Amino acid sequence: METVTYTVIKTINDINSAHIGTITEQCKKVLSSLQKGESFEAKIFAKEQMPKFTNSANARNIANMGYRYLRDGKKIGMLHEEPKEQKSISFKKFIKLDSVEYWISQLSSTKFKNLKCNTMVMLVIVLFPTLC
């Protein structure tokens, strides 16, 4: 599973005070620990950094708070979310792979077995009906 990468573009002190009033004190404390220019993955932040700021022992609650604080940081303009990398390839590129091209060429063009043989039998029946 891919995680989202965040980059800190402003410190908590650079944010307009009107925006800071919309977040909690604990969120301010967590976001103030981030330095400008720092990049991190959301999953790693929630696992390693968030336990320092809470007394909760429940890992799920800690992760949820971490993701909520990152979302708030993005909303106030402190964090920038990096786009996810695409791991898959397109179908057109997939069918151009050497191994896939080989196996596609091995497939029969119809669902019937021994089509060439059956075609010859049908041709004989059509051309020489007296033999049957």
Q: How far apart are CA 105 and CA 101, in angstroms?
A: 6
Domain end call among 45, 62, 82:
82
67 and 34, same structural domain? yes
Domain boundaries, position 110 = 91-127
Amino acid at 89: I
78 and 54, same structural domain? yes
Residue 115 lies in a domain: yes
In this prediction the pTM is 0.60
- The confidence score (pLDDT) of residue 21 equals 75
More confident residue, 120 or 34: 34
Q: How many CB atoms lie within 10 A of CB 14?
A: 10
73 and 29, same structural domain? yes
Cα radius of gyration rounded to whole Å, the chain: 31
Mean pLDDT across 61-77: 90
Position 112 confidence tier, pLDDT thresholds 50, 70, 90 = low
- The confidence score (pLDDT) of residue 68 equals 92
Q: How many CB atoms lie within 10 A of CB 12?
A: 19
